[in-house]
Amino acid sequence: MPLVGTGAIVAPAAHAGHGVGAFNVIQLEHAQAIVAGAEDAGAPVILQISENAARYHGGLGAIGLATLAVARAARVPVAVHLDHATDDDLVHEAVELGFTSVMYDASVLPYEENVRATEAITAHCHAAGVWVEAELGEVGGKDGVHAPGVRTDPGQAAAFVAATGVDALAVAVGTAHAMLTRDAALDFGLIRKLRTAVPVPLVLHGSSGVADEELTAAVGHGMTKVNLATHLNRVFTTAAREVLAGDPSLVDTRRYLGAGRAAMAGEVTRLLGVLKAAEASVPSGR
């Protein structure tokens, strides 16, 4: 199955009323695990590389090209997405490398500046056939702060999408990034209002902090693209740590990274089932 456009995965899911998993890649093993898990689930998936991950690797090129190669060899539809980019040059590089979408995050700017910056990036990406996600409101966690006052306003969200032309919108509805516990309290009423007001698919960031049943409910109320990173990293690291603890003399990195990869693949398969579970209870075309 060749690399596909992100819109080709997200749009049908939004119409059918089920969720799409968008999982973050840090090492090559992450990309391999996510695709293996998606193949076992028989479901499409989005591989995401964040600006922070690109910085860790000293640039986007090496990890980006490796991830694209994994996507192109997959047996299910796979898209490759640049996540949480604040640097215009990094967005341009992702487009040149062949990424199928970018998430441009100017949410920390005042509203009018966010609109101007996002509109310019969207025009550049659309000229290359690249799908664009943006953020309105502030999904907390990176700075340790997440207050109810920063949640996304439905009217402003609709105006923002109209002004910028973005293809999807990440909204603040009660999650936070980098949560190690799965007890985030989502505002389902706000999700419904946003789904009614906003004409493009909605994106849930910080989903690692959301329990399975809440993820299914979030999709049922109107979320489509669901981003997870920290939870899968914990699964990977736990498996690797167990192998290392069982053999203090182990030096072959393939032994413990392989265990992490296998554990992560299994969790990806399970999570994709959780996201699809809402499909039967949501009217088509919601």
66: exposed, middle or buried (C-beta count within 10 Å: 0-12, 13-18, 19+)?
A: middle
Q: What is the 3-state secondary structure (H, E, C) of 75-105?
A: CCCEEEEEEEECCHHHHHHHHHHCCCEEEEC
Distances (CA, A) of 131 to 134, 140, 184, 234: 10, 24, 29, 29
Determine the 3-state secondary structure of 142 from DSSP.
Answer: coil
- Asked if 186 and 212 touch (Cβ cutoff 8 Å), the reply is no
Where does 17-87 have alpha helices with state H? 28-41, 51-56, 61-72
Candidates 164, 192, 176; CA nearest to 137 is: 176
Name every residue whose Cβ is closer than 8 Å to that of residue 13 and which is 6 or more positions away in sequence. Answer: 19, 20, 44, 201, 224, 225
* Residues catalogued as catalytic: 83
Gap between the Cα atoms of 17 and 284, Å rounded:
6
Rounded CA separation 213/183 (Å): 11
